[in-house]
Chains A and B, each alone.
With several copies, the nearest count.
Chain A
Amino acid sequence: MNAPGSREATRLPLSEKRIPDEVFAQMRAENLARWPTGAGVDFDAAVERHRSLPPHKQLAWVMRKADAERRCLTQPRGGFGTFELQKQLMQVLDRDGHADVVPTTTDSYTRNEHWHLAQKGIEETEKMGRSMLNGYPMVNYGVERAAELVDAINKPAIMLTGTAMPRLTGEIGYAGGYSGYLGSGIAYTVSYIKELSIEEGIRNYQYLDRLVAMYQDAGVELHRRQPGFLTGTNIPPSIAIITCVLDCLLAAAQGVKNYGLEMGQTLHLVQDAAATVVCRELCQDYLRRRGHEDVFTSVTLLHWMGAWPHDDAQSAALISYGGTLAAVAGANSVTTKSTHEAFGIPTPEINAEGLRMTRTAIYLARNIRLDGLPEFEQEKEWIRREVRAIVDKVLEMGDGDVAVGTIRAFEAGVLDIPWSPNRYVKSRILPARDADGCLRILDPGLMPFPRDVLEFNEAKLRRRAEKENVSYGPDLAVSSVYEMAEPIAKLLPDTWS
């Protein structure tokens, strides 16, 4: 199912170039024919539908507005296995959680385009009376049901579909009135799938971005978004931002005008604030350099993406701090988790509680900024240098084409992602937390960072090894994976040595 299959006819050589109209029409026809509900997509009707939505239900408008008013919005995740459960969930998140953006997470069969399995999951869910799927099977339910979900809430709806294969889900959701889609060719292919090549992932998302450009041409601005949190496991800011820049350039090349950039929180106040500023700045910088003058970009931080503690009290602190970090960083929005994170998908109520914790934390820190703080200014500079070294190299390797450069760079290990399940990624780079609580690069693998940057990272990590009296090496990375999940009494003992 991951193979290009029947698409041979429309297969162009890989490049960042905008897919020509006729080719795209052909691609769409083939795509929509893959599952019966594809026939429900009517582009003209979809354009009408979006035009009829009030601005506050259009995510592109909402993200621009949040940016203009310096607001930090909240958005949870959330998906259940049947339409009824999903509708209730979205209403609770909207009304009790005061979510500014309401999500629909798709289930993992849908993500992998195993729609037959998803159908079985729906049936099992109905039989068992509890969700047997970890999300909403958007494709199986089709356009009309999607529209009903959007109508059930008073906020913009976004698709969260963690997949390298977004083509049919995206068509259906957008046609139903969803105004945002999270996912991108590089980020999700390296973190959500084992056998699919990066090239196929990029091609799949070029389709989605091209679709959004088609809406744009028809006068409907839709929001696209990149999940720079990747494998969620101790991703240093530079690694996230590198993928943000590249995915963003790929989307802009297809004609996307409203693009969000996401990063998992490092949980270090200064590092997260620096990352947010640099992400915004460098994406715009590279966009302009490559002639994309009018792309709006927003930045979203995500609540801690690594392993969570099993104590609700500890989790509540992580959630609240996540709001604080996003507010102080000046992020446009924050994607929230709940106290159930370590255990399983949260109930609607627990999910809404996480939203209110986060919202309160944002309110409390809404006016704090770190501009002028020496450490903040330095951290920004380090991140800039790490990002530029790699992105410039990728562009060079592609002879000016981002898509081609990306593939070549992954092959060479110039681009690399920690803890990736994808066999086309070297996954030799290894991050760890330093003594101050910042994420640093322990082993760069083959990524060509400048020497002084690597020395800086190493010095920081050696200081931690010394302080904790452990050996400098991969164990630092493994213990950093567990760290936030440890009982607090272990992290900050209540005894004296």
Chain B
Amino acid sequence: MSAHPRTIVTGVIGSDTHIVGNRILTMALEKAGYKAVALGALTPAADFIKAAVETDADAILVSSLYGQGELDCRGFRDLCVEAGLDDILLYVGGNLVVGKQAWPDVEKRFLEMGFDRAAAPGTRVETVIAWLEHDFAARDRNAQKEPA
């Protein structure tokens, strides 16, 4: 991890009140050395973008547990691009759709929406931290290759 800690925005999107997993995740990010900007439950998509712009964030972690994430998350990447966050790292996780659906289908749906990763129900924080490390490292390598 670099000296300057990365900033990560977290929150639960839409009308969703499930805060427990998101809060535990946020605690784990902080413990792992990230700077977490926690928006909490029931957060409109626009508030995520606004917070990311204001804090110059490196990633947004969107939680959606209540099933309506498929409606809430549509166009999320576009909103980022509009706000100038062209290649901010975007993760989404929780119980993303209504009902027990085959995970590969669900994952595909969210990757196509522009998320870099989607986390299946019950994903543990250790996994999320490992993903972040991996993806930030990859970005660092790319950044070194391309002259600034």
Judged by CB atoms under 8 Å, the answer to whether A and B touch is yes
**Chain A residues within CB distance 8 Å of chain B:** 81, 107-109, 111-112, 114, 117, 120-121, 124, 130-134, 191-195, 231, 233, 307, 310, 340, 342-347, 350, 419-421, 423, 478, 481, 485
Contact of B122 with A by CB under 8 A: yes
Stretch at the interface among B48-56, B98-106, B133-141: B98-106
B-side contacts of A111, CB under 8 Å: 15
- Cα distance A343–B19 in the bound complex, in angstroms: 17
CB pair A344 B68 closer than 8 Å = no
Contact with A along B40-52 (1 / 0, CB 8 A): 1110000000000
CB pair B99 A342 closer than 8 Å = no
Contact residues, B14-60 vs A (CB, 8 A): 14-17, 19-21, 23-24, 27, 40-42
| Nearest 7 pairs of A and B residues by beta carbon | A421-B41, A134-B67, A343-B100, A421-B19, A344-B99, A112-B15, A108-B15
Contact of B129 with A by CB under 8 A: no
- Cα distance A191–B19 in the bound complex, in angstroms: 9
Could you jot down 20 A-B contacts, CB within 8 Å? Answer: A107-B68, A108-B68, A111-B15, A114-B15, A124-B71, A191-B17, A342-B122, A343-B95, A343-B99, A343-B121, A344-B67, A344-B95, A344-B98, A344-B101, A347-B99, A347-B100, A419-B19, A421-B19, A423-B40, A478-B27
CB pair A345 B14 closer than 8 Å = no
- Asked if A132 meets B99 with Cβ closer than 8 Å, knowing A112-B15, A193-B42, the reply is no
Closest to B16 in A: A108
Contact of B70 with A by CB under 8 A: yes
Closest to A133 in B: B68
Kindly provide the distance from the CB of A42 to the nearest chain B CB, expressed in whole angstroms.
30
B-side contacts of A345, CB under 8 Å: 67, 98-99
Kindly provide the distance from the CB of A85 to the nearest chain B CB, expressed in whole angstroms.
11
- Cα distance A342–B14 in the bound complex, in angstroms: 20
Contact of B66 with A by CB under 8 A: yes
Kindly provide the distance from the CB of A15 to the nearest chain B CB, expressed in whole angstroms.
28
- Cα distance A421–B20 in the bound complex, in angstroms: 8
CB pair B17 A131 closer than 8 Å = no
Chain B residue total in the interface (Cβ 8 A): 27
Given contacts A191-B17, A342-B121, A420-B19, 20 further A-B contacts (CB under 8 A): A108-B14, A108-B15, A108-B66, A108-B68, A121-B71, A124-B71, A130-B99, A132-B70, A134-B68, A192-B17, A193-B17, A194-B41, A344-B95, A344-B97, A345-B67, A350-B100, A421-B17, A478-B27, A481-B20, A481-B24
A-side contacts of B20, CB under 8 Å: 231, 233, 307, 419, 481
- Cα distance A143–B27 in the bound complex, in angstroms: 45
- Cα distance A435–B70 in the bound complex, in angstroms: 40
- Cα distance A114–B68 in the bound complex, in angstroms: 13
- Cα distance A134–B14 in the bound complex, in angstroms: 13
Q: Which of A121, A343, A423, A478 has the most CB of B within 10 A?
A: A343
Closest to A81 in B: B98
B-side contacts of A193, CB under 8 Å: 17, 42
Kindly provide the distance from the CB of B146 to the nearest chain A CB, expressed in whole angstroms.
40
Select B122's contact among A191, A310, A350, beta carbons within 8 Å: A310
Contact with A along B65-85 (1 / 0, CB 8 A): 011101100000000000000
- Cα distance A194–B19 in the bound complex, in angstroms: 10
CB pair B99 A131 closer than 8 Å = yes
Closest to B43 in A: A194
- Cα distance A131–B66 in the bound complex, in angstroms: 13
CB pair A421 B71 closer than 8 Å = no
CB pair A421 B122 closer than 8 Å = no
Kindly provide the distance from the CB of A265 to the nearest chain B CB, expressed in whole angstroms.
17
Closest to B99 in A: A344
CB pair A485 B122 closer than 8 Å = yes
- Cα distance A107–B99 in the bound complex, in angstroms: 13
- Cα distance A193–B24 in the bound complex, in angstroms: 18
Contact residues, B78-124 vs A (CB, 8 A): 95, 97-101, 121-122
B-side contacts of A419, CB under 8 Å: 19-20, 23
- Asked if A421 meets B42 with Cβ closer than 8 Å, knowing A108-B15, A310-B121, A343-B95, the reply is yes
- Cα distance A340–B99 in the bound complex, in angstroms: 8
- Cα distance A112–B41 in the bound complex, in angstroms: 13
A-side contacts of B24, CB under 8 Å: 478, 481
- Cα distance A386–B42 in the bound complex, in angstroms: 32
B-side contacts of A191, CB under 8 Å: 17
A-side contacts of B67, CB under 8 Å: 108, 133-134, 344-345
CB pair A346 B122 closer than 8 Å = no
Kindly provide the distance from the CB of A422 to the nearest chain B CB, expressed in whole angstroms.
9
Closest to A308 in B: B122
Kindly provide the distance from the CB of A475 to the nearest chain B CB, expressed in whole angstroms.
10
- Cα distance A264–B97 in the bound complex, in angstroms: 25
Select B40's contact among A133, A134, A194, beta carbons within 8 Å: A194
- Asked if A421 meets B99 with Cβ closer than 8 Å, knowing A108-B66, A109-B15, the reply is no
Kindly provide the distance from the CB of B24 to the nearest chain A CB, expressed in whole angstroms.
6
- Cα distance A307–B123 in the bound complex, in angstroms: 12
